[in-house]
Structure 1
Amino acid sequence: MSEQRQRGEWLTGPVLVVGAGLLGTSVGLACRRSGLEVLLSDLAVEHVRTASGMGAGRALAEGDVPQLVVVAVPPDHLGAAVAAALEAHPEAVVTDVGSVKTGPWRAVADSPSCDRYVGGHPMAGSERSGPLAASASLFDGRPWAITPHRDSRPVAVEVVEDLVRLCGGVPVWLTPEEHDRAVARTSHVPHLLSVLAASRLAEGPENHLALSGQGVRDVTRVAAGDPRLYSQIVGANSAAVLDLLTEVRAQLDSVIAAVGAGDRAGLEDLLATGVAGTRVIPAKHGGPARPMRSVWVSVPDHPGELARLLADAVDSEVNVEDIRIDHDPGRPVGLVELVVEDSRAEHLLGSLESRGWETHR
């Protein structure tokens, strides 16, 4: 791909963003960062005012003619909003940032203007919502699904690809159906399983919850998402989600049978499928997963100690791939987990111990 193509040969603007929430305002900020004119529209006038004040664009005015419309509204309203954008802006390419792709496509499939629609879904977000949570860098380096359908105009696909690249995203090409099966597997069903695990905690006695550690926090983190939003997302992708939940139900029956029968070998085989799953998750920069290992370090709960630990890790010439902190309730230290490549773990352990850190193998 040429440098000219990467800079946005097809997308010149203006870009109209419909829905000035977290994603919509972030799209506006990212487009403005690239020098594009951005127009903003939202049923909530205060959202447009806030996003505009942040530099994400200006309010849509009568007579404005966008080249591209980006629909960023909640899932329940996405199909209707895409159809409305195609009708209101007869020369514009229309895309969206919704988490489900077959629904919007079906909503416009019978329209003579559907060739101007190309679906999209950036795999980026935040636990916060609204325009004040937006950032121009939200999409930098993040996968962004582009889901053209059989009737999409080639030029419309090119315009949407330019949007993705100008916003800092990494294009991933899928059909609408493939996309929905993919997010059911990697996002929607894992979210529901996290919710089920967290719901068992809600009914737990206080003395049981006192034993909560990092493991349960990792498993339940995404369960804290907005129930209203996620019910819309899962409902919009019900067919793909149901297929996977049926498979999970069969596996759960196998787990129950193995535990009830004391079948250690059967249980071990089932647990091994989980290990296999973790090993196929792509590495953080893409490509095949690499063997990782956790190095645990006790860190005093004082200002500057975490920074000192990370500085010592840098001096050890070991790249820290991930970091987590688990606090001990009974003493003034935290247990810091440094995730590094397996081949570098022993070197890091020795280096940190030589600098006086208490490590755990």
Structure 2
Amino acid sequence: MTAGLLVVGTGLLGTSVGLALHGDTDVVLADRDPSALQTACRRGAGRAWDGGERVAHVLLAVPPAAVAGELVRLQRAGAGETYSHVCSVQAPVQAAAEAAGAEPASLCGSHPMAGKESSGPAAATAQLFVGRPWALCPSARTGAPALAAARSLAERCGAVPLELPAAEHDAAVALASHLPQVTASALAAVLLARSAGELRLAGPGLQDTSRIAASAPAMWVEVLSQNARAVAPLVRELADELERAAAALEAVDRGRLEDLLRRGNAGRALVPVKRGETDRDFAVVGVSVPDRPGQLAGVLVSAAEAGINVEDVRVEHLPGRPSGVIEVVVAADTRDAARTALAAAGWDVLA
């Protein structure tokens, strides 16, 4: 045994794992697509697996429907000591693996809550998992070494491991990931019936809410199909909210509209944005900047020189406009200090 990890599947997640472990773990890569494999290797995610080298752990970063077959093949070949996968649905994959005759003790299901609307090895980043939850979903027959290996992998990638049953995971991601995908896609689909002129005024609201509608349809059809029982009731619940909103708009019922918006405020405040913290733990400092190179870097340097820790950055800018807004997200108790420091450094801090 020479390599520490075999990653099967060099898409966004698989390649990002390799990049995250670069310099820490000897990673070998495998993919049925030679072009994807070559790109991942060229980017430094690992070296190509020769098909015979033994490894300590095998990570299956392949579509859910492919996991059982790949797992059985690799287990029978003795490729690794322990195995895990990164599927966004757990219970169906777990059941399929057992039905296919996989050895359950060496397998631990897992799922990093990280991703992008873009896919493939070219979109991968070493920082994709940093600070993100990484679900660990051992079955009743998963052995301690497999669970420990999956946990170690998540931690070495910078993620925060969270152990929970497969069924509980699938219900949670239906709300946190799968419903938002359906919502964004439905919203973006409405745009197809609109003229280019109507979209000229599109700004951050439409851009942000439709961003993940650019995700790969083939992948999401499989994911949604496998978790349909959990997702469908949530889509119905959202549809009911939208139906009530439409009725309130038709009646110009200000009370019902305000009720929806206030409940939306309250719901948004519950969404974790960093390490379990919510929007209520952070504050936004807006800075107006001219549209020229170096402005974002300058704002961040000024914040760093003042000892302000920037938790996140959002850039609001439309092509052709002479200026934009950089939103610096900081801890709520440092908001005033950040505003003072950036203003003192000469930046146009918005009220």
Question: TM-score normalised to the size of structure 1?
Answer: 0.84
Partner of 2:36: 47
How far apart are the structure 1 equivalents of 2:286 and 2:257?
28
Structure 1 runs, 4 residues or longer, greater than 6 Å off? none
Q: Is the 8 A contact 2:84 2:146 kept in 1?
A: no
Q: Is the 8 A contact 2:74 2:80 kept in 1?
A: no
AA at the equivalent of 2:183: L
Whether 1:339 aligns to 2:339 is no
**1:310 shift after superposition:** 3.4
Partner of 1:145: 135
Q: Is the 8 A contact 1:66 1:89 kept in 2?
A: no
Whether 1:276 aligns to 2:251 is no
How far apart are the structure 1 equivalents of 2:139 and 2:160?
19
**1:149 shift after superposition:** 1.0
1:177 to 164, 167, 173: 167
TM-superposition CA deviations, 1:238-259 (whole Å, max 9, x none):
1111121122122222222322
1:96 to 69, 82, 85: 85
**1:226 shift after superposition:** 1.7
* Gap change, CA 1:266 and 1:158, over 3 Å in 2: same
Partner of 2:61: 72
Partner of 1:105: 94
TM-superposition CA deviations, 1:261-281 (whole Å, max 9, x none):
332222222222211111112
Name the SS of the counterpart of 2:274 in structure 1.
coil
How far apart are the structure 1 equivalents of 2:54 and 2:281?
51
Q: Is the 8 A contact 2:4 2:25 kept in 1?
A: no
Q: Is the 8 A contact 1:23 1:72 kept in 2?
A: yes
* Gap change, CA 1:169 and 1:319, over 3 Å in 2: closer
Partner of 1:6: none
Partner of 2:192: 202
AA at the equivalent of 2:148: E
**1:164 shift after superposition:** 1.9
**1:317 shift after superposition:** 4.9
AA at the equivalent of 1:25: T
**RMSD of the alignment, in Å?**
2.9
Number of residue-to-residue matches in the alignment: 350
Partner of 2:18: 28
Q: Identify which range, 184-193 or 11-20, moves more after superposition.
A: 11-20
- Whose strand proportion is higher, 1 or 2? 2
Partner of 1:296: 286
Name the SS of the counterpart of 1:302 in structure 2.
coil
**1:101 shift after superposition:** 0.9
* Gap change, CA 1:52 and 1:322, over 3 Å in 2: closer
Name the SS of the counterpart of 1:15 in structure 2.
strand
Question: TM-score normalised to the size of structure 2?
Answer: 0.86
* Gap change, CA 1:258 and 1:21, over 3 Å in 2: same
Identity %: 39
Name the SS of the counterpart of 2:272 in structure 1.
coil
Q: Provide structure 2 residue ranges, at least 5 long, that are not aligned to the other structure.
A: none
Q: Is the 8 A contact 1:32 1:56 kept in 2?
A: yes
Q: Provide structure 1 residue ranges, at least 5 long, that are not aligned to the other structure.
A: 1-10
1:61 to 36, 50, 61: 50
**1:214 shift after superposition:** 1.5
* Gap change, CA 1:326 and 1:79, over 3 Å in 2: same
TM-superposition CA deviations, 1:34-90 (whole Å, max 9, x none):
234x33322223433443444444443354333322111123323332343333338
Q: Is the 8 A contact 2:20 2:126 kept in 1?
A: yes
**1:191 shift after superposition:** 1.4
Partner of 2:6: 16
Partner of 1:193: 183
